[in-house]
Amino acid sequence: MTATPSDRAADALAAASLAGVRPVPFWLDDPARPAAEAALTGDEHCGLLVVGGGYSGLWTALIAKERDPGLDVVLIEGSETGWAASGRNGGFCAASLTHGLGNGIARWPGEIRRLEELGAANLDAIEESVGRYGIDCDFERTGAIDVATEPYQVAELAAAYDEARRYGIEGLELLDAGAVRAEVDSPRFLGGLLDRRGTAMLHPAKLVWGLKRACLERGVRIYENTRGLELAAERSGPRMAVRTPYGRIFADRVALGTNVFPSLVKRVRPYTVPVYDYALTTEPLTDAQLAAIGWRGRQGLGDSANQFHYFRLTADRRVLWGGYDAIYPFGGRLSAELDHRPETYLKLARHFFRYFPQLEGVRFSHAWGGAIDTCSRFSAFFGTAHGGRVAYAAGYTGLGVGASRFGAEVMLDLLAGSRTERTELEMVRTKPLPFPPEPVAWAGIGLTKWSLARADADAGRRNLWLRTMDRLGLGFDS
pLDDT tens digit sequence for 278-329: 999 999 999 999 999 999 999 999 999 989 999 999 999 999 999 999 999 9
Please determine, for residue 119, whether its predicted confidence score (pLDDT) is greater than 80.
yes
Closest by CA to 185, choosing from 289, 91, 308, 316, is: 289
pLDDT value at position 364? 98
**Residues 131-150: what's their mean pLDDT?**
97
Distance of CA 302 to the CA centre of its chain: 14
pLDDT value at position 2? 55
**Residues 413-421: what's their mean pLDDT?**
97
pLDDT value at position 473? 74
pLDDT value at position 475? 62
**Residues 204-218: what's their mean pLDDT?**
98
Please determine, for residue 263, whether its predicted confidence score (pLDDT) is greater than 50.
yes
Q: Which residues of 373-388 are buried (b: 16+ CB within 10 A; e: fewer)?
A: bbbbbbbbbbbebeee
| β-sheet bridge partners, residue 147 | 192, 303
Please determine, for residue 92, whether its predicted confidence score (pLDDT) is greater than 90.
yes
131, 360 in Cβ contact below 8 A?
A: no
Closest by CA to 75, choosing from 190, 211, 194, is: 211
**Residues 44-49: what's their mean pLDDT?**
98
State the Cα–Cα distance between residues 240 and 252, nearest whole angstrom.
6
Distance of CA 76 to the CA centre of its chain: 21
Weakest-pLDDT range from 80-84, 152-156, 232-236, 355-359: 232-236
Higher pLDDT among residues 423 and 442, named by residue? 423
pLDDT value at position 478? 45
pLDDT value at position 10? 86
Long-range contacts, 451-458 (Cβ 8 Å, 24+): 452/306, 452/307, 452/476, 452/478, 453/306, 453/307, 455/306, 456/305, 456/306, 456/307
